[in-house]
Amino acid sequence: MSSYLTDNAAAYNCSWTVPLGGVVTLQAPNSASSFTWTLPSATGTLVVTPIATKLTWTAYNNSSSTLGDFWFDSITQAFMCSPGAAAQGQDQYVPGVLWALKVPVTITTAKNAVYVSILTPAGQTYNGTNTLKANYLTAGKHIDFELSGILTLATGNSTISAKLQIGGVDLVTSTSASTTFTTNIPWRVCGMMQCQVLGGGANSTINGIIKLEINGGSLVIAYGQLTNVTATGTLVVDVLMTTAQNNLNTITPLTGFVESLG
């Protein structure tokens, strides 16, 4: 089924029903780059009721947005909006969770200063991904993360370390003071990374900060910077942890998320 509205004022006052599987297309004249769909009054309500369970946004990269534009960006894979006038460079990313812990597992190899990912260990399930799409980073865009859980130091006191990586390269590492061995020690690691400079090729600069809190131990904040980062390829964001002593130590993340802002 298809419907066509001519350039006739009387034709605009109409309604039609599209059967299952049907499509209605609103199309501007060939000479126009856009058209405006105006509700008949200030109190009018536009209701879109899809027969299916979702609405699909066409993904594109808007290089000349203006106030009020809202779209799904094909490069950053995120919803964006423009709160400013055209050409002001004020496009903003709608915050979104990239990765969220779903079903945690206990990590038994995080010891002897061998770091293990607490985002993607074997057997752990999560929503989303910690892999950034190529060209995802832009100057000023930042990624926040927070994870927490418990750890067990089996037979001896130990320091605990956490580090933030991007693209398989260490950005910043934080190490606690020596913690007395016991079971179910609460911990929390959080922080952010931000693209400070976006350059062509391997010329981008990424800043990062990480905070590690250990119950009965210490709170340590550390800062790091990477230069000559290639942001045009896919980049894996990862958070890793370890204990220094070679005991039967375990680390269990219980909550966690990684979100994109900027």
Mean pLDDT of 57-79: 74
Lowest mean pLDDT across 33-47, 171-185, 247-261 = 33-47
- HSE value, Cβ hemisphere, 13 Å, CA-based, for 206: 25
Give me the pLDDT at residue 64, please: 72
Residues 188, 118 contacting (CB under 8 angstroms): no
Which amino acid is located at 191 in the chain? G
The tokens of 6 are what?
Answer: 């001519």
d(CA 132, CA 78): 11
Which architecture, in CATH terms, is 96-261?
A: Sandwich (2.60)
Q: What phi, psi does 181 have (nearest 5°)?
A: -70, 135
- pLDDT single digits (tens) 117-167: 999 999 999 999 999 988 888 888 889 999 999 999 988 899 999 999 999
DSSP at 18: P
d(CA 198, CA 235): 14
- Determine if the pTM surpasses 0.85: no
d(CA 152, CA 57): 47
Give me the pLDDT at residue 222, please: 96
Q: What is the DSSP string of 160-180?
A: EEEEEEETTEEEEEEEPPPB-
- Candidates 113, 98, 256; CA nearest to 190 is 256
Give me the pLDDT at residue 236, please: 96
Residues 186, 152 contacting (CB under 8 angstroms): no
d(CA 203, CA 226): 10
- pLDDT single digits (tens) 168-214: 999 999 999 888 989 999 999 999 999 999 887 888 999 999 999 99
**CA distances, 259 to each of 121, 192, 193, 238, 240 (Å):** 19, 9, 11, 12, 17
Mean pLDDT of 214-225: 88
**Secondary structure element (H or E) that encloses residue 12, with its range:** helix 9-12
The CA radius of gyration of the chain, in Å to the nearest whole number, is 25
**Secondary structure element (H or E) that encloses residue 240, with its range:** strand 235-243
Residue 1 banded pLDDT, cuts 50, 70, 90: very low
Mean pLDDT of 14-31: 61
Residue 262 banded pLDDT, cuts 50, 70, 90: low
Q: What phi, psi does 78 have (nearest 5°)?
A: -145, 155
- pLDDT single digits (tens) 23-38: 666 665 555 556 666 6
Q: What is the DSSP string of 94-116?
A: PPEEEEEEEE---BS---TT--E
d(CA 219, CA 242): 16
Residue-level length of the chain: 262
Mean pLDDT of 5-20: 55
Q: Which residues pair with 73 in a beta bridge?
A: 78
- Residue bearing tokens 């299952």: 20
Dihedral angle, C-alpha 163, 165, 169, 170, nearest 10 °: -20
Residue 232 in this model has a pLDDT that exceeds 70? yes
